[in-house]
Chains A and B, each alone.
Chain A
């Protein structure tokens, strides 16, 4: 890795050189230039981005599970096709993001191993279960809605490969969001049972979705440098507020009640929401959410049971290479 090579070089001017490079780097960031894989970057910038992009990738992959849970039970062929296409998109997002993370010098295998070992995180939201079909609509509407709020600013993130991945991801994500909202509209215009199913899903997902934006600003450990480096352009609380303000009228349109009796609109037009249960958030991140064990177990099972397939592919590729070389030598 470039930074390591620099850091291990001899000479007393090393610190000065780094300081000069760091200043140049910050000047490029301040001028809104994009940082590319071969450019010099501070080791901490590389580390933060590797963490963030890989967690983002893991989230896409683990996120296939709660929705995948309903593919075989989707209530119409149209919904089934849309859901299958959506989960396929998510897998694609995971692949873009792993590729973006790999430009920072860590392999996808290492990153995936860290996730399977429980050392790398994924979004807290995917540790909640999908209990009814309405959960699929709610995930599209709220979870993808929140993801878009988070990801649109990332399209202007200072690291080029991440920003470009986000542009592609956001296009598909907004399609998913509309699709989810349409499921909700259909349920809310349907039978009393369907409407109740929709309300119940909103009741269960609302607070976990607000937690997706991360801890409150005064408790967020990554924000200062991330803001300085233009990885992050809005604070957690700013994005959360934007999301709530956008979502309240949508819930009204659906005729659903947001499960927060204390919610009120202030003089600025913003919706003030009640206190979030940050203890629940901490517990979920610590592995104690309702589905943490199941999600990791499912990913590990796929990885372990697929080992012989990956080994077969590698062995065959090796044999083919050997045969080609032998042929060429003849």
Chain B
């Protein structure tokens, strides 16, 4: 008997916390897949370090979602007992690691956003979200610095690294628009100053990203069509495989304590 999916009362604030928690968990999980397989030992440590930061952010956000929801859900139930259609993360973070360039460009696009996002969220009128933001901002600043430096090294390194970095930028670009999208459920939180309006961050994000991309002698794609769906549970085909691995023990041994 496999453990059943939990039911979640997705009030706007619960949904909001879950979306950010899912972003952090799924990206952290992807980074953890590198463990023992990175191009250099230093990078093995850096990727694990960033994965660990993200996992920490996810745990805080899930715990907060559980508290707000006020049922008997907790961080592990949110992580292990929701299926693909219940996950709310960005499509960007579930993209496979690919080669090191894919991983770093994904990290860079997300960190450039997260850095601005968490800094802005420190002004949230929700004290828990503001506190999580204050901690996450320090971590995302490190993630942004680390990934920016790699984008420049790869873009302005060898012909091969340039080609791979450009390929990664071209491949992942279409998943960046979703970071700035707002739906009705978030609109109310933005009006109440609990959440910030991510659309307002886009010009600064683009400035940061363009600056690094230029320094790396790379270019941004001219096709600005953006894929969406992660926030409402319409994911890419990649997430199901990730979750079947992540959730295997909880699904095999329902109700056990680990």
Q: Please tell me which one of the listed residues B58, B156, B161 contacts residue A308 in the complex, with CB atoms under 8 A apart.
A: B161
Residues of A within 8 A of B42 (CB): 95
A319 interface contact, C-beta 8 A: yes
Say yes or no: B36 contacts A313, CB within 8 Å.
no
Q: Does A7 contact B (CB under 8 A)?
A: no
Per the bound structure, the CA–CA distance linking A191 and B55 in Å amounts to 27
Which of these binds chain B: A64-72, A199-207, A270-278? Answer: A64-72
A87 interfacial contact with B, CB 8 Å? yes
- Interface residues on chain A, number (Cβ under 8 Å): 47
Q: By CB atoms of chain B within 10 A, which of A95, A191, A306 has the most? A: A306
CA–CA, A307 and B51, complex, Å: 23
Chain A residues whose C-beta falls within 8 Å of the C-beta of B157 in the assembled complex? 311-313, 315-316
Which of A73-81, A213-221, A246-254 lies at the interface? A73-81
Report the nearest A residue to B255, measured CB to CB.
A191
Task: Give Cα A191–Cα B256 distance, bound, in whole angstroms.
Answer: 7
- Say whether B33 faces chain A, with CB atoms less than 8 Å apart: yes
B window 23-46: CB within 8 A of A: 25, 29, 32-33, 35-45
Q: Is the CB of B39 within 8 A of A85?
A: no
Question: Which of chain A's residues have a CB closer than 8 A to the CB of B29?
Answer: 72
Residues of B within 8 A of A88 (CB): 44-45, 48-49, 52
Chain A residues with CB under 8 Å of B160's CB are 308, 311-312
Known: A71-B35, A72-B29, A84-B35. Is A77-B48 also a contact (CB below 8 A)?
Answer: no
Encoded as 1 (CB less than 8 Å from any B CB) or 0, chain A from 82 to 119 comes to 00110110011011001000000000000000000000
Total residue contacts A-B, CB cutoff 8 A: 135
Main secondary structure of the interface of A (DSSP, over half): helix
The one of B35, B40, B246 that contacts A310, using a Cβ cutoff of 8 Å = B40
Q: A298 and B36 in contact (CB under 8 A), knowing A133-B249, A194-B253, A319-B156? A: yes
Q: Are B52 and A94 in contact (CB under 8 A)?
A: no
Contact in complex: B40, A194 (CB < 8 Å): no
Q: Say which residue of A78, A92, A191, A305 sits within 8 Å of B253 (CB atoms).
A: A191
Interface residues of A (CB under 8 A from B): 61, 64-65, 68, 71-81, 84-85, 87-88, 91-92, 94-95, 98, 133, 183, 186-187, 190-191, 193-194, 298, 301-302, 305-313, 315-316, 319
22 A-B pairs, CB-CB below 8 angstroms?
A71-B35, A72-B32, A73-B245, A77-B75, A77-B76, A79-B258, A80-B32, A80-B55, A81-B52, A81-B56, A84-B48, A88-B52, A91-B41, A95-B41, A190-B256, A298-B36, A302-B37, A306-B39, A306-B100, A309-B161, A316-B152, A316-B153
